[in-house]
Structure 1
Amino acid sequence: MVTVVFINLGLTLVLLCVAWQIWQLRLKLARIADILLVYERVTRAALQRTPDAITVGKTAIRQTRQPDTPQEVKQLRIKQFFNLLAVVLQTWQRIVLLRQTGFFRKALAKYR
């Protein structure tokens, strides 16, 4: 009878440890999901303007390649292309800066 009680206590402790580990895993997965949501929101906000900028850049490149365009127009198209490149670099720098400043941790704190 005593051995049955000890076996039950042992099983209870083992299952309690397993339940604790599952609980900790659930918390970690919830944190990872929150981080991924913040990354997705920041990326969407950063990339929201890029289709228009890409279209402008494509148009600028296409018009620059035309041989009958005046020199001033070609220079304007080249400036537009470099402006597009600057937008892409600024977006990339913002993402890197946000990552370095701990913005994601602060944003996650709002959702908890």
Structure 2
Amino acid sequence: MVQTVVVINVLISLTLLYVAWRVWQLRLRWTRITNWFILAERCSHAVLRNAPEAIYISQHKIQNLRQTNQVLEIQLQQLRQIISLLVFGQRIWRRYLRKGW
């Protein structure tokens, strides 16, 4: 009877030892995963730390470029009108030269 109790206690002890070992392994794995996430967060923080300021500067530059583009569009339209007037004048001039005044 005592032997049966001892065997059962040894089996329970071995089972609990195995469970404790697996929990320890799981804890180590979770620690590694946690450290990896902390490292990833630090790296992403280092990369993205200046992002808001860079975005603000880029938005400001884009706004300036749009304003410059509007001015250039107006100038281009005026240039096209001048060229079309010159072409129109050239056609009229050629027409009168052919007919002779």
Counterparts of 2:54 and 2:35, CA distance in 1: 30
Structure 1, unaligned runs of 5 or more: 72-112
Provide the TM-score with structure 2 as the length reference.
Answer: 0.62
Q: Does 1:9 align with 2:3?
A: no
Counterparts of 2:12 and 2:69, CA distance in 1: 85
CA RMSD of aligned residues (A): 1.8
Quick one: higher RCO (CA 8 Å, sep 6+), 1 or 2? 1
Mark the structure with the bigger radius of gyration: 2
> 1:58: which partner in 2?
59
SS at 2:25 equivalent: helix
> 1:34: which partner in 2?
35
Counterparts of 1:68 and 1:43, CA distance in 2: 35
Provide the TM-score with structure 1 as the length reference.
Answer: 0.57
Percent identical residues: 39
Following superposition, the deviation at residue 67 of structure 1 comes to 6.7
> 1:19: which partner in 2?
20
Q: Would you say how many aligned residue pairs link Structure 1 and Structure 2?
A: 71
Moved more, 18-27 or 53-62: 53-62
Counterparts of 1:68 and 1:30, CA distance in 2: 55
Matches within 5 A, 1:65-104: 65-66=66-67, 70-71=71-72
